[in-house]
Structure 1
């Protein structure tokens, strides 16, 4: 918590320092910045020098001394070696922004004496550099580059040990004002030579590695102005058990004004040349991709997620010979939970909550919030792309399913399944039926399905599958024979 408060306070200090154009560096301004940086910190930590700011010829030296936190913790359970002050340099720019530069390193070792035994940890960064332009109005960097060489950490407990490292990391962030009170924010980066070893536990030893991990995050239309107000409001009132009526009313205004918080959020993480070595053999893949996306806190919020793998590899002997050819060259799962009324829930909270009380909502009102999030009690699951491709099959599924979390037996679906290389798939199953009897049954089932398929062109078979809440099934508009 203290770390988050410090970061928010630092941003607060910069936004309220209101630098003039071509501002001159001065000791009085350094003192003002320091006071604002430490606004939310306990006085004893301020007096001990947790954060200090000094004026130099053309910049301010900002120093953060983490040893103060450890000394003030007053506990013998945690012991840390290698802590040292961290320094950043703030240069006022003519346009009222700050150029922030830092160049540091870490080599920290420590122990935590807690049940069921003593735990040890290490953190190492050979070098870490930051160079960016910080805009006090938006409390964020308009552009910044962060690089690090050799990041490593380890944790050891009586049960297991974990070590991990990156050879080189480079990140770039940027923010651009798009409209009144809104920002478009992007962050891209690459982490090279990832390696992790887990020793102990049920799996014995596991070694995980990747040549590169690429990260791409973007947020469009972030409502930065009202979110600033919310952050500072929370900091100003975090030690209060309840709010005064005027503050409670202001909080409600800010919550309503913050919607939808942002327009779109997307994040993609891609790992290349992934390896997982276990006592069962060496597994891996050319690439493994993970992604999420969301369209804000809206009346029809959609939260998407996906996972993909290309060229998966398994060790020899793990799969029976008949199954080796069936391993997909590429597999994808992309789905989303849609039609969530998150904005409706926030509006209900604003309309009914009493923030002057320890419990703003009654039990009945909390239940009503859940009903608003899921209109009619239903959850829509959209399948954007569920697919598996190999030399002997090419299968895709898309569509949607409606489920009712409070009514486990109530659900419906409307999906389309397409399949290419149909004849190759059947031939493969028939060829291996003697070894795997289930393959013979699967081949017979596929041939039956082919009779119900529609021709989607290009050698593709397709099945439009509808399942009603009554359990009745339609395939390409026709009911199953035994359901007629």
Structure 2
């Protein structure tokens, strides 16, 4: 649903509300404003049209006219109804936007493996919102549908999906740092997807059914540079021909620099409630299952984060030894990311250096310089507090990996509550299952390196230094790696005599 609102915003790009009077002259001005972003040909060939509709303008997308422009040999069938929505000028310069969610349709196309088909139906899909040309974004918006079904197939697979009622809300405001801050939330009920793969060549016959009581998608953005993005789209439309693009690449570079850092921060998450997946090997599931991704824009000290959360995971117990079932986690939260990510200097140098009159546009020399610049300032890997928990125990881990002089240095802390209960469970299981006994020596050895904390937890502080040495709670487990001949040469400041290779004489500097 949010993607349809994005399409609407693209069609309403930068078009100011021309006061309260709606007439044919206003429709012409709106057509001219939109042509900057979708080309005048889109209107001339009937793909897009603007017409007066009462106190608003109706913008119509004719997918049949669009299909007529596509290669006939690739598109075997194309049946999508015309899509339209109304835009009404407001006294404050914004636009009221309202329309259907998406037209029903189907198409068939010839792909590399044969005929590919897709069809979809949306029931009672509606949306409305307020679009601000000054921000190039919706300041508010909402949408809903009562149902959606989709089917796609090719010669080796078929997918059927459906969702029940769904809603979307979103809002945008002017950011203090430039651009737009936005939030959006979408929920869909009764998600169901069935996938069947039947490939005689490989022998794969794999039916899978995925379902969830509810699926939610949340997104936030800070400082998204919407207007510079629109300027880039307009440039692409005006310079579609290769000769014009090459001739005006100085303007393109200026627009790219103006769009940096693209955004300050963007975060998005998917969450499945009462998730279940049924396959030939058994049923998998979770009470809650979610993934969150966040990233800064292109800057000098950016971050990137991935978080994976599962509550109440379920695995096919017939695939597991009976003694392991009580040890399975009830909650999992894993968080990993990167920090100190410096892409600003690299991006600006690449923009400055590229030349569309050359092939490749970025020379091998500049490419090597960019690579060396990135390797000289590697980001660090950060593991934020992550846990695996069940009713009797909890294991946590956090730390970071840095790369001084290009070599990894690891500083990580692992702690556990209820570690003895895990050992006791393995000891009890070992009496009847030799497989459980195989894990006991390792578990006891690991416990021997642990430090007991005041709250009863046991902890392992692990350090892997850049020289290769490894310590656990200050006790060295592995000494530093022996120096290599190459490292000795660099340390001595010498170089190999030409033609002698690694065995050549070392020449001390004069």
What TM-score comes out, normalization by structure 1 length?
0.89
Tell me the residue number matched to 1:305: 306
For the residues of structure 2 that align with 1:403 and 1:197, how far apart are their CA atoms?
45
In the TM superposition, residue 168 of structure 1 has moved relative to its aligned partner by 1.8
Deviation track 1:17-44 (CA, whole Å, cap 9, x = no partner) reads: 4334x42111111122123334565766
- Cα 1:30–1:318 change in 2 (3 A) is same
For the residues of structure 1 that align with 2:231 and 2:397, how far apart are their CA atoms?
45
Q: Is 87-96 or 455-464 further displaced after alignment?
A: 455-464
In the TM superposition, residue 82 of structure 1 has moved relative to its aligned partner by 4.3
CA contact (8 A) 1:302 1:338 kept: yes
Alignment coverage as a number of residue pairs: 473
In the TM superposition, residue 361 of structure 1 has moved relative to its aligned partner by 1.6
Tell me the residue number matched to 1:220: 222
- Cα 1:271–1:374 change in 2 (3 A) is farther
Other structure's SS at 2:445 match: helix
Other structure's SS at 1:373 match: helix
Residue 100 of structure 1 pairs with residue 97 of structure 2 = yes
In the TM superposition, residue 312 of structure 1 has moved relative to its aligned partner by 1.0
- Cα 1:74–1:42 change in 2 (3 A) is farther
For the residues of structure 2 that align with 1:41 and 1:234, how far apart are their CA atoms?
10
Q: Give 1:163's match in structure 2, choosing from 135, 160, 163.
A: 160
- Cα 1:212–1:184 change in 2 (3 A) is same
1:68-467 maps to which residues of 2 (within 5 A)?
A: 68-73=65-70, 75=72, 77-80=74-77, 82-103=79-100, 106-179=103-176, 181-201=178-198, 202-241=204-243, 243=245, 247-355=248-356, 357=358, 359-376=360-377, 378-402=378-402, 410-437=407-434, 439-467=436-464
Structure 2 residues not aligned, in runs of 5+: 199-203, 482-510
Tell me the residue number matched to 2:16: 18
CA contact (8 A) 1:322 1:435 kept: no
- Cα 1:223–1:121 change in 2 (3 A) is closer
Deviation track 1:276-301 (CA, whole Å, cap 9, x = no partner) reads: 11112221111111011112211122
Other structure's SS at 2:67 match: helix
Cα-Cα RMSD: 2.8
For the residues of structure 2 that align with 1:65 and 1:242, how far apart are their CA atoms?
29
For the residues of structure 2 that align with 1:25 and 1:257, how far apart are their CA atoms?
35
Other structure's SS at 1:190 match: strand
Q: Is 218-227 or 271-280 further displaced after alignment?
A: 218-227
For the residues of structure 1 that align with 2:260 and 2:434, how far apart are their CA atoms?
57
Other structure's SS at 1:72 match: coil
In the TM superposition, residue 81 of structure 1 has moved relative to its aligned partner by 5.8
For the residues of structure 1 that align with 2:37 and 2:133, how far apart are their CA atoms?
18
Other structure's SS at 1:428 match: helix
Structure 1 residues not aligned, in runs of 5+: none
Q: Is 348-357 or 147-156 further displaced after alignment?
A: 348-357
